[in-house]
Structure 1
Amino acid sequence: MKKIAYIGCLGLIGIITTEFGIIGILPQVATYYRISINKAGILLSAFALVIALTGPFMTLLASGINRKKIMLAGMSIFLLTGIVSALAPPFWLLVVMRMLPAFLQPVFISSAIAAAVRHGDKKQEHQLMGIVLGGIAIAMVTTVPYATYLASVYTWRTSFIVQAIVSALALISIFSALPSMPVAEKKSYGTQLKILTRPDFLLSSAMNFLMIAAWFSTYSYFADYLGKVKQMSPQTISYMMLLFGVTGILANWLAGRMLGKSIPLTAAAFLLGTIFIPAALYYAGNNSFATMIVIAIWGFLYAPCFLNAAAYMISAAPDAMEFANTLAISFGNLGVSAGTIVGGWVIANYGIAQAPWTGMAFGVASLLMIALRSKLEAGAKKQVENHSFRHI
C-alpha cells in the first residue's frame, strides 16, 4: 500500500528537516553563541551519536508496540524540539533539545519502512523503501534550503520555526491518515541479535559507517565550505542547497530501480562520488559555473546513500529486516557523527579547504568493504556448489 509509504515519507521530511536543517545555519549559530564552527558541529554530531548508540536498543524495546503510536510519539518530540530551539536557549540546552528526538528517530524510520514493505507487493519492496527514504531527498530540495534561505534573510531561529511547522504537519498526517498498525508477531530478541554474528552483515555495517562518514566529513560543513572557500553569500548558499537537493531526487528514484538489479554494484557506483567530488571541487577553483556543476553532481551521488546503505545491510539479513534497517540507521548516524568530528578536526588543524579530501579516504575504505563482502559471498557460494557436486 503506497499510502503508508507516502505518509512515512512525509514524516521523514520532518525528521530530516530537523536533523540536517542545522547544516545551512551552522556558521550563524557559531557566530551567535561565539563559538568555533567545529564546536557548533556538535549540534549535528551529538544528534547522530545518540542515534548510533541507542537506535538498536530502542528498536528492540519498541518492537512489540503499535507502529502508529511509535510514529506519533517520535514526531511529537520533533515538534517540541523545533519550538524550544526557535527560542534560542543557552547552547547546552540547544544541544540537549537536539539530542532528545534522536532517541526515537531510528524507531520511526524502521517502523515506517517495515509498515510500507509489509503492506505492499514483494516485487516493489525497494521502490516502497525508496518512497519512504525519498523524504530525505525531498527535504533537501524543499524544507532544508528554504529554512536556510529564510535564516539568511531574517535570523537563524527562523530555520527552527520551519522545522516545527513541518513536524506539526507530519504529526497531523500520521494521526489522521495512518491506520492503526499493531505488531502481529513480535520476534524474539535472540532471533534479531543473531545477525550480529554474521561476517557478511558485519562487513555491510562497516561499509555503511565508512560511506556515510565519507559524505558527511564535508557535507556537514557545506555552508561554511562554500562561504569561505568558494566565496559565496548566505543566499547563494541556500540556492546551492536547493540545486544539491534537486539532483538528489532524481538520484533516489534511479537508485531505487538500480537496487532491484544489483545492490552491491549500485552502492559501489554511487560511492565512487566520494573519490570524484573532492578532486572536482579542487579543480573547479573559484569558477562559479564549474562549482555549480560539481554541486549538482555531488547532490546526485550523495542523495541515495541512506537508501543504498539500508538495502545493502538488509540484503545480508532479510530474516530480521526491521532490526537490520535500524542497525543501518545507527551505523549510518555513527558515520555522520564520525565524519562531522573528523571533518571538524581537519578544518581546525588544516583549514576548511582540506575537508573534502577526508571524505575520499573514508570512501576508499568503504569500497574495500564491498569488495571483501563480495569475495566472502563468492567463496561461500563456491563451497555450496562443491558440496552439491560431491553428492551427485
Structure 2
Amino acid sequence: MKKIAYVGCLGMIGVITTEFGVIGILPQIARYYRVSIEDAGLLLSAFAGVIAFAGPFMMLLLSRVDRKNIMALSLALFLASGLISLLSPPFWLLLVARMLPAFLQPVYISTAIAAATAAAGKQDRHKMMAVVLGGIGIATVTTVPFATYVAGVLDSWQSSFIVQSIISLIALVMILLLLPALPVMTKKSPAKHLTILRKPAFIRSAAMVFFMNAAMFTTYAYFADYLGKMNGMNAATISGMLLLFGIMGVLGNFAAGRALGRSLTGTTIIFLAGLTLIAIPIAYSGISFWATVLLIAVWGFLHTPCFLTGQAYMIAFAPEAPEFANSLSISIGNLGISIGTLAGGWVIGRYGIDRIPWAMGLFGVAALSLILLQHYLEKTVQKKAAIS
C-alpha cells in the first residue's frame, strides 16, 4: 500500500513539473518566440484545458485497464512531451507537445490515488491520498524552482525541459520496476460512473472546485512576470521565491492532510478563505523585499493544500464512483486553472499586471459562496431528517 503511494507520488512529481514548470520560464519563452506574456500563458491554459475536457472521457475509456499500465503510459507521454519541447520547435508545435500528455494526466492522478487507497483502511485513505498528492508540494519545492533556476543561470528556457524530461524518465522507470500488476478488481460500467452527475451536491462541489482553482492560478500562473515587474526581482531571486512558495506548500499540505480527518468541510473553508484574503496584500505588496518574502511564504502555505482539500471535498460526494470522481475533480480543477490563467492574461492585457490579484479574490469569493451554500443545505437536510 505505502509503496504504491510513494511510487505514485514520484510520478506526480514528474506530472506537476511538466505542467507547472513552465510558469517560471514564461517571460523567457515570450521573449524567444516574440509573443506576449498572455500568449505564452497558453502553454499552461491549453494544457489545463485539454485535461478539463478530455480527462473524464479518457478515464471512462481506460477504467478497466491495469493501473500500472495506465501510469506507465501516462509518464511515457510526459517524457515525449519534454523531449519535443527542449528541441525549441515552432511555437505551435511547442503548444501541441505541451497538450499531448494532458490527455492522460487526470487518468494518471486518479489511478494512482485509487491504487494507493484501495487497500487502505477508512481512516488511512486520506493519508494515502495525501502521500500521492504530496508530489505536488514536493515538485513546487524542488523540481519546479530548480528547473526555473537552471533556465535562469544558463539563460536557456530549453534547459528547464531537460530537467522535466529527466524527472519523467526516472518516474517511468520506477513505475515499471517497483510496481506489481494492478488489475482493476471491481469493474463498473460507464453508466454506473455517470450516475454521480445526477447528484446536485456533487455538481455544487464541482463548481466550487472550479472557482477555487481559477482563484489559485489567476495570479500564480504569472508568478515570475508579476514578481519581476511589480517587485523588481531578477530570475535567480524569483527561483528562490518559487522554492520558498513550495516549501511552505509542503508544510501546508501536511497540516491540511491531518486536519481533513477531523473536518473535511472546515479544513477546505479555512484554506480557501485564506487564499481569497491573501489577494489583498498581494495587490499592495510593492517592492519591499522582506514583506514580499513573508507574503509569498503565507501564500504558498495556503495555495498548495487547496489541491488536496478540493480533491477530497469533491470525492466525498461520490463514494459510489471514487475513480471517476477523482478524474472529474482533476478535470474540473484544470478547467479552473485554464480559465483562471486566461482571465489573468485578459486582465494583464486590458488593465495591467498589477490588477490580477483582484481577479484572484473574485474567484475566491465565488468558491467560498458555493461551499458555504453547500454546508447550509447539508445542515438543513440533517435537521429535517432529525425532526422526521
CA RMSD of aligned residues (A): 0.8
Match of 1:3 in 2: 3
Match of 1:292 in 2: 293
Q: Does 1:163 align with 2:179?
A: no
Q: Is the Cα contact below 8 Å between 2:215 and 2:276 reproduced in 1?
A: no
Q: Is the Cα contact below 8 Å between 2:74 and 2:108 reproduced in 1?
A: yes
Displacement after TM superposition at 1:121 (Å): 2.4
Q: CA separation in 1, counterparts of 2:172 and 2:228?
A: 35
- List aligned pairs for 1:311-322, cutoff 5 A: 311-322=312-323
**Deviation string, structure 1 residues 89-148 (Cα, Å, up to 9, x no partner):** 000000000001000000000000000001222211111100000000000000000000
- SS, match of residue 24 in structure 2: helix
- SS, match of residue 287 in structure 2: coil
Q: Give the counterpart letter for 1:318 in structure 2.
A: P
**Deviation string, structure 1 residues 227-257 (Cα, Å, up to 9, x no partner):** 0010100110000000000011111111011
Match of 1:62 in 2: 62
Q: CA separation in 2, counterparts of 1:375 and 1:269?
A: 16
Displacement after TM superposition at 1:304 (Å): 0.8
Match of 1:302 in 2: 303
Q: Does 1:27 align with 2:27?
A: yes
Match of 2:241 in 1: 240
Q: CA separation in 1, counterparts of 2:133 and 2:103?
A: 19
Displacement after TM superposition at 1:65 (Å): 0.2
Displacement after TM superposition at 1:375 (Å): 1.5
Q: CA separation in 2, counterparts of 1:335 and 1:282?
A: 21
Match of 2:41 in 1: 41
- List aligned pairs for 1:79-158, cutoff 5 A: 79-154=79-154, 155-158=156-159
Displacement after TM superposition at 1:280 (Å): 1.3
Match of 1:390 in 2: none
Match of 2:324 in 1: 323
Displacement after TM superposition at 1:376 (Å): 1.6
Displacement after TM superposition at 1:380 (Å): 1.8
Structure 1 portions without partners, runs of 5+: 388-392
Moved over 3 A (4+): none
**Deviation string, structure 1 residues 343-389 (Cα, Å, up to 9, x no partner):** 000000111111111000000010011111112211222232233xx
- SS, match of residue 195 in structure 1: helix
Q: Is the Cα contact below 8 Å between 1:2 and 1:120 reproduced in 2?
A: no
Q: CA separation in 2, counterparts of 1:28 and 1:277?
A: 27
Displacement after TM superposition at 1:284 (Å): 2.9
Structure 1 length-normalised TM: 0.98
Displacement after TM superposition at 1:273 (Å): 2.5
**Deviation string, structure 1 residues 190-212 (Cα, Å, up to 9, x no partner):** 11111111111011000000000
Q: CA separation in 2, counterparts of 1:181 and 1:119?
A: 12
Q: Give the counterpart letter for 2:108 in structure 1.
A: F
Q: CA separation in 2, counterparts of 1:313 and 1:281?
A: 28
Q: CA separation in 1, counterparts of 2:222 and 2:53?
A: 23
- 274-283 or 345-354, which deviates more: 274-283
Q: Does 1:277 align with 2:278?
A: yes
**Deviation string, structure 1 residues 11-48 (Cα, Å, up to 9, x no partner):** 00000000000000000000000000000000000000
Match of 1:250 in 2: 251
Q: Is the Cα contact below 8 Å between 2:7 and 2:174 reproduced in 1?
A: yes
Q: CA separation in 2, counterparts of 1:48 and 1:275?
A: 21
Give the fraction of aligned pairs with identical amino acids, expressed as a percent. Answer: 57
Q: CA separation in 2, counterparts of 1:221 and 1:239?
A: 16
Displacement after TM superposition at 1:276 (Å): 2.2
**Deviation string, structure 1 residues 286-312 (Cα, Å, up to 9, x no partner):** 110000000000000001111111100
Match of 1:17 in 2: 17
Match of 2:357 in 1: 356
Structure 2 length-normalised TM: 0.99
Q: CA separation in 2, counterparts of 1:185 and 1:125?
A: 18
Structure 2 portions without partners, runs of 5+: none
Q: Is the Cα contact below 8 Å between 2:283 and 2:358 reproduced in 1?
A: no
Displacement after TM superposition at 1:58 (Å): 0.5
Q: Give the counterpart letter for 2:85 in structure 1.
A: S
Q: Is the Cα contact below 8 Å between 1:84 and 1:97 reproduced in 2?
A: yes
Q: Give the counterpart letter for 2:332 in structure 1.
A: F
Q: Give the counterpart letter for 1:120 in structure 2.
A: A
Q: Give the counterpart letter for 1:315 in structure 2.
A: A
Q: Give the counterpart letter for 1:227 in structure 2.
A: G
